[in-house]
């Protein structure tokens, strides 16, 4: 049986910023090969897998979760300090004084420098520092740093994931490796059950820089329907109640809106109710949910797409928080969806 927490510890420790996902993609491929009939990697780096039902003309159902994480890329070196830009939606507010891993060979430790409060005027101390004004301290002089790190080298926030409170997990890259583990667990829950569909899994890359991996991945497979699994914002004391209603531990989030196929979405809500799967309803009124659902829904002649989300606190930070119970409930709903008979 898959241990959700231990599997997340495993894959969240691996680096995988957009365009540089190879370490985590290799591990994800290993995990899929243990459960699926065939697994391969496409040109962009998406890991794709299929479990065939063995029936002629079977429809294709795809589950998707992205495996890249927000990160940094080195742009230059000044006096031994590394300048950098964001890879994806990296939150500038959480970067000062953060520890980072620079993906040299071997990887290198660094700290994002921050001016001590003693040296700042009050107005300056209350401002968010722009990423272009930050630097990474690697403890080297200019010549040494130039020889050690080249521009274009990626970096990620240091550390993986760890236990947190009651059956929760905290760390980097849970967006969206928690979604992938939910899919992996769903495949396990299906066991040897006979299916009426060929089940495809896509562990997609480059979601954080514009859903780039999902576009060619889904175009190649041409599924009849797809369930995208990502993360969603969970309530905190400072969140806006109108915009963030979902609770950590409140169950899988099912989204309604124009980016989702109404028939598929409502069937999943009905399944969640009938199978007593803990769930929450989210409303996405725009045509772009900010997930791979946007790219997948309008691929080729269109794909019937649904969006499930795992509630998360502190998204795109070094200390994202999720509940293992929400991952399990997401997996259960995915498994029940694959069992649907026409």
Write out pLDDT tens, residues 209-260: 999 999 999 999 999 999 999 999 999 888 877 667 899 999 999 999 999 9
On whether both 37 and 180 belong to a single domain, the answer is: yes
On whether both 173 and 30 belong to a single domain, the answer is: yes
Q: For residue 14, is pLDDT > 90?
A: yes
pTM beyond 0.75, yes or no: yes
List of residues 6+ apart from 299 with CB closer than 8 A = 215, 218, 219, 222
On whether both 149 and 252 belong to a single domain, the answer is: no
**Residue 142 is part of a domain; what is its CATH number?**
2.40.30.40
- What pLDDT, on a 0 to 100 scale, did the predictor assign at position 244? 74
> Which of the residues are catalytic?
207
Of 108, 136, 157, which marks where a domain is finished? 157
- Positive or negative, the Cα torsion across 153, 158, 162, 164? negative
On whether both 177 and 31 belong to a single domain, the answer is: yes
Q: Would you say 82 and 94 are in contact if contact means Cβ atoms under 8 Å apart?
A: no
- What pLDDT, on a 0 to 100 scale, did the predictor assign at position 342? 54
Q: In angstroms, how far is CA 1 from the centroid of its own chain?
A: 23
Of 94, 123, 157, which marks where a domain is finished? 157
Q: For residue 173, is pLDDT > 60?
A: yes
Per-residue pLDDT of 323-336, as tens digits, reads 999 999 999 999 99
On whether both 40 and 139 belong to a single domain, the answer is: no
- Domain boundaries, position 98: 71-157
On whether both 96 and 129 belong to a single domain, the answer is: yes
3-state DSSP of the chain: CCCHHHHHHHHHCCCCCCCCCHHHHHHHHHHHHCCCCEEEECCCCCEEEEECCCCCCCEEEEEEEECCCCEEEEEEEECCEEEEEEECCCCHHHCCCCEEEECCCCCEEEEECCCCHHHCCHHHHCCCCCHHHCCEECCCCHHHHHHHCCCCCEEEECCCEEEECCCEEEECCHHHHHHHHHHHHHHHHHCCCCCCEEEEEEEECCHHHCCCCHHHHHHHHCCCEEEEEEEEECCCCCCCCCCCCCCCCCCEEEEECCCCCHHHHHHHHHHHHHCCCCEEEEECCCCCCCCHHHHHHCCCCCCEEEEEEEEEECCCCCCEEEEHHHHHHHHHHHHHHHCCCC
Least confident of 3-17, 118-132, 177-191, 226-240: 118-132
Could you tell me the two tokens for 267? 């069937």
User: How many structural domains are present in the chain?
Assistant: 2
Q: Determine the average pLDDT of the residues in 286-311.
A: 95
Q: How many CB atoms lie within 10 A of CB 256?
A: 17
Of 157, 190, 217, which marks where a domain is finished? 157
On whether both 138 and 177 belong to a single domain, the answer is: no
On whether both 280 and 131 belong to a single domain, the answer is: no
Q: Tell me the C-alpha to C-alpha distance, in Å, between residue 253 and each of 20, 109, 309.
A: 29, 37, 5
Q: 213 - beta bridge partners?
A: none
Per-residue pLDDT of 111-133, as tens digits, reads 998 765 555 556 665 677 889 88
Per-residue pLDDT of 81-104, as tens digits, reads 999 999 999 988 889 999 999 999
- What pLDDT, on a 0 to 100 scale, did the predictor assign at position 126? 62
On whether both 22 and 77 belong to a single domain, the answer is: no
Q: Tell me the C-alpha to C-alpha distance, in Å, between residue 168 and each of 53, 78, 185.
A: 35, 41, 17
On whether both 145 and 229 belong to a single domain, the answer is: no
Mean pLDDT score of the chain, rounded to an integer?
Answer: 93
On whether both 151 and 192 belong to a single domain, the answer is: no
């Amino acid at each position: 049986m898959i241990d959700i927490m231990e599997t997340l510890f495993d894959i969240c420790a691996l680096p995988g910023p957009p365009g540089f996902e190879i370490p985590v993609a290799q591990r994800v491929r290993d995990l899929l090969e243990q459960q699926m009939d065939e697994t391969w990697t496409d040109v962009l780096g998406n890991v794709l897998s299929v479990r065939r039902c063995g029936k002629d003309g079977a429809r294709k159902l795809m589950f998707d979760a992205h495996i890249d994480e927000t990160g940094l890329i080195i742009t230059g070196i000044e006096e031994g300090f590394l300048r950098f830009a964001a890879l994806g939606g990296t939150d500038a507010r959480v970067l000062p004084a953060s520890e980072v891993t620079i993906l040299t060979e071997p990887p290198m430790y660094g700290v994002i420098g921050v001016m001590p409060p003693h040296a700042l005027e009050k107005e300056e101390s209350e401002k968010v520092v722009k990423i272009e004004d930050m630097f990474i301290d690697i403890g080297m002089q200019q010549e040494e740093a130039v020889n050690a790190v080249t521009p274009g080298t990626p970096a990620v926030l240091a550390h993986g994931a760890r236990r947190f409170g009651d059956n929760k997990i905290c760390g980097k890259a849970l967006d969206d490796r928690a979604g992938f583990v939910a899919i992996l667990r769903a495949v396990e829950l299906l066991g040897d059950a006979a299916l009426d569909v060929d089940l495809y899994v896509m562990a997609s890359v480059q979601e954080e820089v514009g859903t780039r991996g999902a576009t060619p991945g889904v175009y190649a497979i041409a599924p009849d329907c797809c369930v995208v699994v990502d993360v969603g914002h969970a309530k905190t004391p400072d969140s806006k109640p109108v915009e963030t209603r979902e609770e950590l531990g409140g169950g899988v989030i099912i989204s309604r809106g124009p980016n989702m196929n109404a028939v598929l979405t409502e069937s999943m809500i009905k399944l969640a109710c009938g199978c007593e799967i803990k769930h929450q309803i989210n409303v996405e009124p725009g045509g772009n949910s900010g997930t791979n659902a946007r790219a997948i829904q309008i691929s080729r002649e269109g794909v019937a797409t649904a969006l499930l989300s795992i509630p998360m606190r502190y998204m795109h930070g070094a200390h994202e928080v999720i509940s293992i119970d929400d991952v399990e409930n997401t997996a259960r709903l995915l498994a029940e969806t694959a069992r649907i008979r026409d």
